[in-house]
Amino acid sequence: MHRLKNMALGIATEIIYALLIIGLGGILGSIVILF
Amino acid sequence: MILRPQLKDLKVVGFYLGKMILGLSLFMIIPMIVSLIARELNPLLDFLISFLFCVSAGLLLHIACYTTKDPQWSHGMVVISLAWLLAALLGAVPLFLSGHWNSFLDAFFDAMSGLSTTGLTLVQDQSHLSYGHQLWRHLLAFIGGQGIVIVILAFFVRGGSGAFRLYIGEARDERLLPNIRRTAQFIWVVSLVYLVLGTLVLGLAAFGGGISFWKAMFHGVCIFMAAFDTAGFAPHSQNIMYYHNPAFELTTLVIMILGAINFKLHYTVWSGQRWEIWRNIETRSFVAVILALFALVVLGLNQTKVYDGAVSMFRKGFYHLLSAQTGTGFQVIYSDQFVSEWTSLSMAGLILAMSLGGCVCSTAGAIKMLRIGIIAKTFMADVRRYISPPSAVLIEKLHHIKQLILTEAQMRSACLMTIAYVFVYLLGAVAGMLCGYPFMESLFESTSAAGNVGLSCGITSPTMPAALKITYIVLMWAGRLEFMSIFVLIGSAVALMKGR
């Protein structure tokens, strides 16, 4: 159970990392276009 | 003096090659089942013929070269480099039999492209390829992404020092667990867990876009394998553009990033050390490089205002940048639009991204982020040394799974490997120019092949010269194995001819 919980939280962490990169890319793109 | 390999050395190589071929043949059962379900008789026969051929060749090698000897370093390297060539040759047989490839060379090109997780393709009438053949192309990418040797280690070889030598030969220099067999099994666990999740999300996104349920799930499986293993194949010739679906694009972006993450980092994060993802030198370098290069791409695209608005810029510019950086090669525009619509600056941004790649011990190719991080640290260490008093003792540290002290050997290795990759990219560009293509396009395509990316600006097509097809096959093979195994193979071939 403990291993499954760690795995689920690990997957969530990795997906948050991926979404963060995508979000930062979106913000940066918008800023560069503005200037 | 060079020592000529003895018969017992050749037997070790033959024995393990036999195991690899047998392992590959088992994977052919999957498209056979799919062909049977889809009631595609001809594709079923293609796979049956190829399966029987592979099993015969594998058993012959296995029996003729039977040995209990563990492979040494040189054996491991030779087995790996030959295994990748043989797997591509044998994997090309069902593709060639389908009649969708002009020649066996074209089918071999696609098989090597799949196995090396590149994604360049020479298929004709791709959208009408049978389910079995579609799945086989993507399965080749999945097998190649895990590493052919991982397949064999997980199921057929006991985990000893010999297994570790095979593992290292495949450009995987990080051991996740003390037992190499369990390392291989963990890599499979990560991939299969994400395969289930990714297929469901992609399948539902495609279903939401109007594709029938089972077809959407089939596309989901194929696209997941191409995204997570950073291969870039797709069931349709228009690649991801076929779906015209922002949810689908967003999902593939996430999967591409997950595929470019180091398997050792997956293991660490899944074991409870979740902060590691924010502290690791590779993941930090990955974010920094992507953002810097995206700024470059946006500035380039802004010169011609080809995409007006942030959303369009993101869906085209950022998507291709991330596709290039992770080594996937998914496209949401036609190949020739890179030349006709993208400026030199934005093309340069993509070429740089393709040349740098994802993390080590992931499914991505190219120079890789750990080396880029080490080179950046080396540069900063040198600057610090110049501005410090001569008596100061400076120690440069880096965080990669644990706190490490940067050594001279690591710095030298990172610099040498980077130089080797740059040399190969340029060599491929020269080959392109010799065939009459302009410099920028040649460099783009050559970097895409050697970096195992798969983005194309239009050079890769069934009509390109055979010499260039062979050059790209060698680039994909060498790029995937990170050169060393191939140098050892060449050295062994020389020793076989000239040794004493």
Give the pLDDT mean for B169-195.
77
Taking CA–CA distances from A17, the nearest residue in chain B reads B277
Give the pLDDT mean for B99-118.
95
Which candidate in B194, B228, B257, B311 is best for mutational testing of the A interface (most A CBs within 10 A)?
B257
Is the ipTM reported for this complex over the cut 0.90? yes
**Which of B274, B283, B286 lies closest to A10 in CB terms?**
B274
**Which of B266, B294, B322 lies closest to A28 in CB terms?**
B294
The pLDDT score that the predictor gives to residue B485 is: 80
The pLDDT score that the predictor gives to residue B486 is: 84
Q: How far is B338 from chain A (nearest CA, A)?
A: 19
The pLDDT score that the predictor gives to residue B178 is: 64
Instruction: Tell me if B197 and A7 make a contact (CB, 8 A cut-off).
Output: no
B314 touches chain A (CB under 8 A): yes
The pLDDT score that the predictor gives to residue B394 is: 83
The pLDDT score that the predictor gives to residue B155 is: 63
pLDDT at B331 over 70: yes
Taking CA–CA distances from B252, the nearest residue in chain A reads A18
pLDDT at B90 over 60: yes
pLDDT at B468 over 80: yes
Instruction: Tell me if B318 and A29 make a contact (CB, 8 A cut-off).
Output: yes
Q: What are A1-35's pLDDT values in tens digits?
A: 788 899 999 999 999 999 999 999 989 888 887 77
B299 touches chain A (CB under 8 A): yes
Give the pLDDT mean for B66-92.
86
| Inter-chain Cβ pairs, chain A and chain B, closer than 8 A | 81
| Residue B430 near residue B423, CB atoms below 8 Å | no
Instruction: Tell me if B254 and A19 make a contact (CB, 8 A cut-off).
Output: yes
Give the pLDDT mean for B247-275.
93
Taking CA–CA distances from B309, the nearest residue in chain A reads A33
Taking CA–CA distances from A8, the nearest residue in chain B reads B270
Give the confidence band of B423 by pLDDT, cuts at 50, 70, 90. Answer: very high
B286 touches chain A (CB under 8 A): yes
Of the given ranges (B138-152, B169-183, B259-273, B349-363), which has the lowest mean pLDDT? B169-183
Give the pLDDT mean for B444-456.
95
Give the pLDDT mean for B438-454.
95
Q: What are B26-45's pLDDT values in tens digits?
A: 999 999 999 999 999 999 99
pLDDT at B160 over 60: no
The pLDDT score that the predictor gives to residue B256 is: 95
Give the pLDDT mean for B135-145.
92
Report the percentage of chain B scoring pLDDT > 70: 93
Chain B residues within an 8 Å CB radius of A10? 266, 269-272, 274
The pLDDT score that the predictor gives to residue B402 is: 87
Give the pLDDT mean for B43-65.
94
Which candidate in B191, B261, B264, B291 is best for mutational testing of the A interface (most A CBs within 10 A)?
B291
Q: What are B202-259's pLDDT values in tens digits?
A: 999 999 988 999 999 999 999 999 999 999 899 998 999 999 999 999 999 999 999 9
pLDDT at B414 over 60: yes
The pLDDT score that the predictor gives to residue B86 is: 93
Give the pLDDT mean for B265-283.
92
Tell me, yes or no, if the pTM score tops 0.90. yes
